[in-house]
């Protein structure tokens, strides 16, 4: 394996972390975005009550607020890490995230909470961006593939258990303790990172931060048909998924009355999505990204339309077993799509700087936020708004895929 670890250049420090320690550090850093989103879900009612939120659906906005910050932040921190170095950017973003945690912890109303969530999102985009850069800097070949595979597998699995973690913390110490726990985790990660992780980007290899470069990458993405099409598709599919995240607590606890078992049902569906992503990594070389994407897109649209018809006939709510069965298959399709859409979008761009990758990721996430928030705010005591959102967004995605593939 040592032949796959990059040799340090003159003037750089030798890595102080071994392979296992490096994995643990990267996993901790990259799990923070998922924990920041999904630990909130079980405590929506408590937060709404304590912050005196008048409209029940409005509390859902704490999810898209963080995602908006995450999308805008990665557009800045990606190029900034190429300019300032990995350690400086992660340190800066960590302090921004911790400031957001404090703002949320001390919030007494929904506007302050939403502002804190945006700040959290901007801050958490740093670790998400820097971790991938650090892996590329330090490893190559099989060692890089192994590291990336392990880190991303954990990134997929963490959301399944995050609501259970949030629920446990809230039961012991209240919902504000979730933000204190996130702050503590970031502080631990920052101290660990500062003491054990050397800088991997030499000053002579750094690129001056340039708004012109970001604008140029944005123009390149928007003028490349396949890239733009699949970026929009990724945003629409992600928007449907965000609609589920925003509505999940109300659907499971209010519609189906599962109570504290919410975290269990949420975990089952999350694992379905995660299993699809892992399976995709194994079969994509045999079947190809486009073939898998087309099949998953057809499956997602067909299942969504069928289920809309079923629940309309049932008055807007199906039995819980049917909801779980349909959504396990729907999320399996979504997992396949998540594994391929960004990769197809990036393929025509060749060996461009990482800025283009940041633009694709940021743009797709920004596209996802409005429909995801709208689906959640349309919740009316049934699952019809959620499934209508899936059906409409998958239809648009399918149409855009046909457009993107047309020469």
Are residues 160 and 303 both part of a single domain?
Answer: no
DSSP state of 378: T
Are residues 351 and 254 both part of a single domain?
Answer: yes
pLDDT (tens digit, 9 = 90+) per residue, 202-218? 777 777 777 777 788 78
pLDDT (tens digit, 9 = 90+) per residue, 18-49? 777 877 888 888 888 889 999 999 999 999 99
DSSP codes of every residue in 207-263: ----HHHHHHHHHHHHHSHHHHHHHHHHHHHHHHHHHHHHHHHHIIIIIS--GGGHH
Are residues 45 and 97 both part of a single domain?
Answer: yes
CB 79 within 8 A of CB 214: yes
Say which residues have a Cβ less than 8 Å from residue 110's Cβ, sequence separation at least 6: 51, 53, 58, 59, 61
At residue 283, the pLDDT reads 81
DSSP state of 139: B
Are residues 194 and 253 both part of a single domain?
Answer: no
Q: Using alpha carbons, select from 391, 273, 395 the residue that is nearest to residue 333.
A: 273
Are residues 230 and 180 both part of a single domain?
Answer: no
Instruction: Enumerate the β-bridge partners of residue 189.
Output: none
376/374 Cα distance (integer angstroms): 5
Q: What is the pTM of this model?
A: 0.85
Domain tally, the chain: 2
Instruction: Enumerate the β-bridge partners of residue 363.
Output: none
Are residues 253 and 375 both part of a single domain?
Answer: yes
Position 396 in a domain? yes
At residue 140, the pLDDT reads 64
pLDDT (tens digit, 9 = 90+) per residue, 54-76? 888 899 999 999 999 999 998 88
Half-sphere exposure (Cβ direction) of 348: Cα atoms closer than 13 Å: 18
128: confidence class by pLDDT, cuts 50, 70, 90: confident
Are residues 164 and 246 both part of a single domain?
Answer: no
The residue among 138 and 183 whose pLDDT is bigger is: 183
How far from 136 is each of 1, 129, 132, 142, 311, CA to CA, in Å? 15, 11, 6, 12, 47
What residue numbers bound the domain in which 280 lies? 210-407
Domain boundary among 199, 219, 249: 199
């Amino acid at each position: 394996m040592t032949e796959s670890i990059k040799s340090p250049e003159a003037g750089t420090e030798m890595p102080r972390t071994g392979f296992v320690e490096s994995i643990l550090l990267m996993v901790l850093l990259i799990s923070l975005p998922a924990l920041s989103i999904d630990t909130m879900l079980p405590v929506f009612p408590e937060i709404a009550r304590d912050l005196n939120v008048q409209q029940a659906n409005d509390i859902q906005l704490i999810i898209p607020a963080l995602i908006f910050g995450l999308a805008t932040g990665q557009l800045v921190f990606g190029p900034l890490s190429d300019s300032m170095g990995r350690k400086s950017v992660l340190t800066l973003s960590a302090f921004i995230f911790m400031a957001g945690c404090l703002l949320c912890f001390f919030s007494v109303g929904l506007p302050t909470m939403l502002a804190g969530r945006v700040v959290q999102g901007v801050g958490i985009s740093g670790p998400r961006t820097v971790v991938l850069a650090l892996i590329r800097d330090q490893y190559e070949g099989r060692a890089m593939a192994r590291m990336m595979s392990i880190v991303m597998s954990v990134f997929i699995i963490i959301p399944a258990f995050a609501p259970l973690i949030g629920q446990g913390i809230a039961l012991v110490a209240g919902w504000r303790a979730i933000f204190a726990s996130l702050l503590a985790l970031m502080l631990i990660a920052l101290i660990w990172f500062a003491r054990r992780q050397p800088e991997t980007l030499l000053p002579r290899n750094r690129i001056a931060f340039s708004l012109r470069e970001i604008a140029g990458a944005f123009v390149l993405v928007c003028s490349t048909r396949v890239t733009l099409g699949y970026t929009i598709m990724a945003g629409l599919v992600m928007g449907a998924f965000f609609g589920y995240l925003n509505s999940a607590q109300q659907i499971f606890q209010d519609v189906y009355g599962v109570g504290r078992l919410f975290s269990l049902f949420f975990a089952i569906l999350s694992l379905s999505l995660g299993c699809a992503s892992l399976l995709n990594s194994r079969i994509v070389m045999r079947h190809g990204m486009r073939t898998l994407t087309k099949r998953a897109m057809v499956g997602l649209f067909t299942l969504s339309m069928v289920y809309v018809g079923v629940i309309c006939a049932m008055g807007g709510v199906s039995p819980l077993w049917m909801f779980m069965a349909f959504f396990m298959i729907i999320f399996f399709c979504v997992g396949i799509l998540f594994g391929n859409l960004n990769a197809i979008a990036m393929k025509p761009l060749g060996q461009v700087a990482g800025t283009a990758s940041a633009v694709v990721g940021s743009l797709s996430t920004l596209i996802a936020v409005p429909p995801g928030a709208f689906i959640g705010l349309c919740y009316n005591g049934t699952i019809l708004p959620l499934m209508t959102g899936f059906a409409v967004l998958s239809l648009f995605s399918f149409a855009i895929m046909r457009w993107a593939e047309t020469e």
